[in-house]
Amino acid sequence: MKDSNEFLYPSQWLSKASAGERVACELRMRIISGTVESGSILSENQLASEFSVSRSPVRDALKALASENLIRLERMGARVLDITEKEIQEMYDVRLLIESFVFERLVHMETEELVKDLSKIFEMMKIAIQYKDADEFSKQDLEFHDTIIRSIGHSHIQMIWNNLKPTLESLVLLSMRYRFEEMYEDFERIIENHELYIEAIHKKDRELMVQSLHKNFDDVAKGRVEELWMAQETFTKGVEKEDD
């Protein structure tokens, strides 16, 4: 690939990635940021030349992005699709449903080791804020939530999260870069929120978790935290009845 300084996706996150994954990560960032506009046509040959790879990794990248509904594969290449506010809203709805479901499972589990792991990540997040490192903060933030979701060992919830995570990763990266530049004071709220997450898991306190979900999602869930929490509780009760 060319000089990493030309790219939006953090090069240090790609040390173990395949050539196709590298191309997909960068193209995803460009599409979600609007650097590549909706309606644009992506050519395999042009992308192979730009990224200094063969056409095979480019095809792999385009297939991945098509599965995420970011592009539509066409005979002459791939057309970039418009990412609507509704689609972004729906992604955060799913994320909120996942995290509230996971918390309900954690209420019935031993969480001491999880709290220790989250506390370590939390310290790394604070260091990233201190050094105004948006990319490192984003990495630790994603790892924080990934650790919570992995902890319940639910293969289908993990599958849904893994499918959602690449697009969310780009959204988080772009958001945190903007906040470090324009809204640095907002990180006081973000840190308090993650501290509340840990406390809620440690105490297995539903009220604290709802407070934390409000702090984390009210700006993106448009006041739907209570509605989605209730929907998740209804689903969870249904699952528990089936398990009985």
pLDDT tens track for 115-133: 999 999 999 999 999 999 9
Instruction: Name the nearest CA neighbour of 166 among 5, 32, 3, 36.
Output: 32
pTM of the entire predicted model: 0.86
Give 93 or 78, the one with higher predicted confidence: 78
- What gap in Å lies between CA 68 and CA 164, rounded to an integer? 8
- What gap in Å lies between CA 230 and CA 213, rounded to an integer? 13
CA-based torsion, 221, 227, 233, 238: positive or negative = negative
- How many CA atoms lie less than 13 Å away from 178 in the CB half-sphere? 7
| Arithmetic mean of pLDDT, 90-109 | 90
Residue with tokens 């709220």: 189
Locate 113 and state its tokens. 């080791």
pLDDT of residue 230: 57
pLDDT of residue 127: 98
